[in-house]
Structures are given as C-alpha cells and as structure tokens.
Amino acid sequence: MDLLNTLVEKGLRRELPTREEALAVLATSDDELLDVVAAAGKVRRQWFGRRVKLNYLVNLKSGLCPEDCSYCSQRLGSKAEILKYTWLKPDEASQAAAAGVAGGAKRVCLVASGRGPTDRDVERVGKTIEAIKEQNEGVEVCACLGLLSDGQAERLREAGADAYNHNLNTSEATYGDITKTHTYADRVDTVQKAHAAGLSACSGLIAGMGESDEDLVDVVYALRDLDSDSVPVNFLIPFEGTPLAKEWNLTPQRCLRILAMVRFVCPDVEVRIAGGREVHLRSMQPLALNIANSIFLGDYLTSEGQAGQADLDMIADAGFEVEGAGTTTLPAHRADALAAASGGCGSHAAAEGSGCGSQAPAEGAGCGSHAGGGCGPCGGHAEAPAEAPAAEAASNTARTDLVAVRRRGAGTDLAPNA
C-alpha cells in the first residue's frame, strides 16, 4: 500500500504523518491488518530493535478517590468490588517493587488514587522512592499521583524519581464527557510541570471509551505536541460497578490498528501496551509486540493481568528479548535531550546504546491511575457514542470472564503476580 510505504518512510525520518494518513490507518480493513502491523514493525525496529521493556505497577493507595472519572474502578461512587486501602508504608512498597524487579521489570511505577498529592504525600512517596532504590540497584521509578502543584515535580525529582505519568486519556473535545471534577487543561499542565522539572514525561490514552477515530487521532497528536517520552495505550476494561460496565467496543484487530497509528505518529517514543491487553488483544498480544516496545509485567492496579511467567514466555516465543537494566530505552537523540533537561548523562548510541547508571532517566513509563486514568485498567467512559464500524463493534463479544479483580500483591497478604 502506498499509504503504508509513506508512513514507514516518515517514521524512519521522525516526520509527522498527516491527520488524513493517521485516520486512514484506523480505517484499514482486516485483510490489510498484517500489512499494517508489518509496516509499524519496521518503524519500531528502527528505534527500539527487538527489545521489550518490562514495567511493574505498585498501587500505593487503592480506591477512595474523590474524582468522578467515569472509566475508573476507583472513582467516586464506584460499586466495583476492588481492594481499598490507604498508603502503603515505604518498606511495604519496596517489598512489592522487588517482586517485579526480580521478574525482570526495569521500571517500577508508583501509583496512588486521588485528585493529587499533598506536600505530605510527596514526602511520603519520596521516602518510598528512596527505599526502592536502596534495595533494588539500577531500578527506574515513575510516580503517578494525580495533578501536581507547583514545586512538587521538583521534589519528586530530588527524591530520585525518573519519570512522572499523567495521561490525557482522550481528546480535548470529549474530555468533559468522562470527567467533571477536573479539566483536560489541568492534565496538560501536570505533564508540562513534570517536563519542566526534568522528569521524563509519560502520558497516554484509553481506547474503547466510545470515542471516534478523530478523537483518537486528536489525543495522539496532542501527546506528540507535549513531547511525551512514553505513550501508554490502555484499552478500557468495563468493570462491573462503573458507568460503562456494558461497553465492549474493541476487537483485537481494532486494538492493533490503534497501536499502529500511535507508532506512526510517535515513531521514536516508548509505546506501551498497558491495561486491558489481555482482555481485548487476547491471543493477538504477541503480534502487538511488533508495534509496541513495552508492556506491564503481571497485574495492574485493580485487576489481574496475565501471569508474569506467561508474559516472559510470550516475549521469547515471539522472537523478542527483555530489555536489560544497562540499556537505554530511548534512541540517542531523545535520551540525550532528556539528560540535558534533567542534568544527567545521555546515551551515546542508538536504540541499543547503554545508559549511564541507575539514576539515569530514560524514557517515561506509564503508571496506572486514580483521578484521571493511567496504565492500569479502571472502568468506563461516559456519553460519547461509539463510532467504530458497525460490523467490527458487533463482532466483539463481551468477555467478562477475562476481567478479574486483583486480590493479591500490594495491599494484601498474598504474593504478587510477577
């Protein structure tokens, strides 16, 4: 296809596709799907080789959120029967993180529900970051605590945080349909605060919330404009007890097209398959590794994921390799720019180059969410009508059997899945 050849050429040059080209990727047929995956794979391999970065979520505080994000199982008024607990102690969080690192995770993502952290919360998380880094040499830490106030990003950076996650989730035009207690502009402001503080900015989206193709393209272009180092792509998990518990708008084919579109628009950033991959990609997960270069290992915030060993087997069987701690995730031009902004040292090779130590900020990692969505599956979307092709939407049967509430790991006495 001329379209795909053009997109590959642009991706190899880091040139932005046109909106029409991005929309055309989402409109391709199932007969063209393998061609789309192969084209996106060429761009992925140019910048990231065949490496897959593993990230591990630690839910520091679950549920009890005052925000009304309609996709989230932790939202105000949620009837989802999730785990609810207040802040983990630093040693508890460090123990949870160690399980993920032992399973191969390179980055630990610390998440807390709520609108945003108080200064006391930032101090608490800072101590947690210090404890994790003391006990897990070389680990990278990303924080995801909600909306940041002035100075908080700098304090997290001083405590050793490498990245900050705050997702845009959907387009600015439809953001008011999913949340009333904060705005799209609030979220943009927090990503910009993280950038300004020298943290690697991680911001992504949630697909399957009734959005149109135009909405998906709008939010991905906005993420590129924000210069996010990492773009986690979540696929909505319709939790029982949330507003869209009955919404099942995604098929594996649709998910692959969305991932490909993100890769073409953001060719040289970490694209992570985040919450919902097991539910919506299902047996097509290995194929998605040809597009994305990052996943979460094991469970998510409030739901169970694929077994950690199954993740590792999937990566190996698909012909990929787990990215090691001594490898810089981002291509040299992005790693060097981030290092300059944060006062660190950059990579001096392309995607395969080695980093500059345990404190070296590489790319951003997506972390699950709370007040506004992250990389962990939460809940539904609100009023916006689904605009996926009728045949595709009709063919996607609800797979409620694949939605399991997390009952192990952080906040429990049971061993985590890693």
- Which distant-in-sequence residues (6+ apart) come within 8 Å of 67 by Cβ? 75, 76, 114, 115, 179, 181, 182, 370, 371, 372
109 is catalytic: yes
Residue 65 is a catalytic residue: yes
Mutual orientation of helices 252-265 and 33-48 as an angle, nearest 10°?
40
Within 13 Å of residue 307, how many CA atoms lie on the same side as its CB? 3
- Told to judge if 345 belongs to the known catalytic residues of this protein, a careful annotator would answer no
Task: Output the CA torsion sign for 148, 152, 156, 158.
Answer: positive
69 is in an annotated binding site: yes
94 phi and psi angles, rounded to 5 deg:
-65, -40
CB 113 within 8 A of CB 61: yes
Angstrom distances, CA of residue 281 to CA of 44, 250, 306: 19, 9, 12
Q: Which of 208, 236, 258, 218 is nearest to 27 (CA)?
A: 258
What is the Cα–Cα distance from 263 to 292, expressed in whole angstroms?
Answer: 7
Q: Residue 65 annotated as binding?
A: yes
CA distance 299 to 307: 8
Catalytic pick from 44, 75, 107, 202?
202
Q: Catalytic residue at 356?
A: no
Of the candidates 51, 142, 254, 266, the residue annotated as catalytic is: 142
Q: Give dist(CA 162, CA 157) in Å, integer.
A: 7
Catalytic option among 44, 109, 266, 378 = 109
**356 annotated to bind ligand:** no
Rounded Cα distance between 229 and 169, Å, is: 16
292 contact partners, CB below 8 Å, separation of at least 6: 44, 233, 259, 263, 271, 272, 273
**Catalytic residue chosen out of the listed positions 124, 263, 272, 406:** 272
Angle at 350 between CA 346 and CA 352, to 5 degrees: 100
List all residues 6 or more positions away from 221 whose beta carbon is below 8 Å from its beta carbon. 19, 22, 265
**Is residue 378 annotated as involved in ligand binding?**
no
List 69, 144, 255, 266, catalytic entry: 69
Looking up tokens 């395969």 gives 352
DSSP for 319-354 reads T-EEPPTTB-SS-HHHHHHHHHHHTS----SSTT-B
Q: Is 72 annotated as a binding residue?
A: yes
Task: Look up 142 and say whether it is catalytic.
Answer: yes
Annotated binding residue 144:
no
C-alpha closest to that of 205 among 240, 166, 179, 250: 166
Active-site residue, from 72, 144, 255, 378: 72
The two three-digit tokens of residue 124, written as one number: 């608490």
Residue 402 structure tokens: 């694949």
Annotated binding site: 65, 69, 72, 109, 142, 202, 272
Annotated binding site for [2Fe-2S] cluster: 109, 142, 202, 272
Annotated binding site for [4Fe-4S] cluster: 65, 69, 72
Indicate which residues carry an active-site annotation: 65, 69, 72, 109, 142, 202, 272
